[in-house]
Amino acid sequence: MSNSTAHATTLNQVALHGFLNHLRNERRYSPLTEDNYSRDICRLFKLAGTTPLNELKSHQIRRFVAQLHGSSLGGKSLARMLSAWRSFYFYLIRDHQFNCNPCIGLRAPKSARNLPHALSPDEAVRMMELPTAGDILAVRDKAMFELFYSSGLRLAELVSLDPSELDFIDAVVRVIGKGAKTRIVPLGSHAISALQAWLTLRGQLAKQDETALFVSRNGSRIGSRAVQLRMSGWGITQGMTSGVHPHLLRHSFASHVLQSSGDLRAVQEMLGHASISTTQVYTHLDYQYLSKIYDSAHPRAKKKRY
């Protein structure tokens, strides 16, 4: 590695370190979001090669995007990456005397919008009916799954909860969401029962000074990956035909509440979406559901058999 290349690499790493501190301390982003930004910006470093970041122009950024698109990276991923690069350059302008942001005005190629998969109500109920007798980890898992489905939490929100954020009297949970925004979300009766059952046993697993609501078998706060693995395993045990993951229960919560209430604004508030356009995808799920009901029930929709 030449001296100039090593110098550029060092400058990039210093800038990235400062930017991640900015995300953590000023913008209050979660560790998971911080990791995603770091990964996207390291991709920019790789694409730029020996070219200093302050010398990159818009046509070069556009070429990077085209390269990534040509390697089968989808429009949604490219849009996220461009957003990360744009934010990084705004930081560099503010704190490192950069003159311009070459990512401004660039858009990622559009890709087909895939609707999130959701469990049917019967499948969701089956997923909640875990055999918990004599199994403290199953009691914990049932409480986690009921909470996901009852309140539509994100995975990072669930693993960061402490018992003090539960209010069984008012049947709500206080959640710290994206951007450190707090919201109050209702708790269903099944979730309350499952959580109370877990809390009576939690002390058998939790370390003495551990504040987490959900802990692993070693007594410390449970990690996101552990939750994903436990849910995937239980999905197989419970006979789910497709993989079950935490975001699937969040999608199912949103879809089922919207089917019952039709109140898009309420679903937006409970999910913690900053924009209602993000929530509107569930109206398409709702229309799909209604179409299935129509096709199975309406005499004119039924195919004739000869």
The catalytic site residues sit at 154, 178, 247, 250, 273, 282
CA separation for the pair 24, 34 (Å, rounded): 7
- Cα–Cα distances (Å) from 219 to 13, 148, 203, 216, in that order, read 35, 21, 9, 5
285: enclosing H helix or E strand: helix 281-297
- Cα–Cα distances (Å) from 108 to 64, 77, 194, 211, 217, in that order, read 11, 9, 44, 42, 43
Side-chain-side CA neighbours of 10 within 13 Å: the count stands at 7
Is the distance from CB of 259 to CB of 173 less than 8 angstroms? no
Long-range contacts from 179-186, C-beta under 8 angstroms, 24+ separation: 179/27, 179/28, 179/29, 179/274, 180/28, 181/272, 183/269, 183/270, 183/272, 185/151, 185/152, 185/153, 185/270, 186/150, 186/151, 186/270
CA separation for the pair 168, 189 (Å, rounded): 9
